[in-house]
Amino acid sequence: MKYSREAFVEALVEHEGYRQFVYKDTLGIDTVGIGRNLEDRGITKEELDHLDIPNIKAVYEHGLEYADAVYLACNDIEIVEEELLRHHACIEDLSATRQMVLMDMAFNMGVPRLLKFKKMWAAIHAGEFETASVEMLDSRWAVQVGKRSQKAALRMRIGEENA
């Protein structure tokens, strides 16, 4: 992938926020750090060991330091990249900005939901980024995230970060 992972983590913090302690997200799912879903993804034994946290109960009791949240977010990013590339290898050929748009959408709604944007994906495969941006905005996701979707659609359309 062409985009900067560090820049993407910063964008995630801007969009998703960082929360030290476990909270319920808008869907009522236990979440911590930079959007780590504790019910679907949880925290693996290997991750807990790396963070020197004895068990998930300690996360619920004491939360996560920012550096630990960044570590988990980077692991999530790697998983999302692999999932997206497995379904749409064309992502490798997109500009860094367009890659970040798709990664941000995937991180926000999950890869399975993003894969349902059939018309958007068809437009991306055809290199029709104007159409892809329109399809992004014609969704429940766009309504839910508001201005974030408008900025993402503009960045998809022009393919540059200054959008």
Q: Mind listing the pLDDT tens digit for each residue in 73-88?
A: 999 999 999 999 999 9
The CA distance from 163 to 160, in Å, is 6
pTM for the full model?
A: 0.88
Burial 132-155 (b: 16+ CB within 10 A, else e): bbbbbbebebbeebeebbeebbbb
Q: Is 159 left (phi over 0), alpha (psi -120 to 50) or beta?
A: left
CA distances to 48, 68, 130, 139, 141 from 110, in Å: 23, 21, 23, 15, 11
The CA distance from 108 to 68, in Å, is 20
Going along the chain from its start, the domains and CATH numbers come out as 5-158 (1.10.530.40)
Burial 94-130 (b: 16+ CB within 10 A, else e): bbbbbbbbbbbbbbbbebeebeebeebbebbeeeebe
Cα angle at 142 between 141 and 147, to 5 degrees?
135
Q: Mind listing the pLDDT tens digit for each residue in 40-64?
A: 889 999 999 999 999 999 999 999 9
Q: Place 26 in a pLDDT band, splitting at 50, 70 and 90.
A: confident
pLDDT value of position 162: 62
pLDDT value of position 16: 84
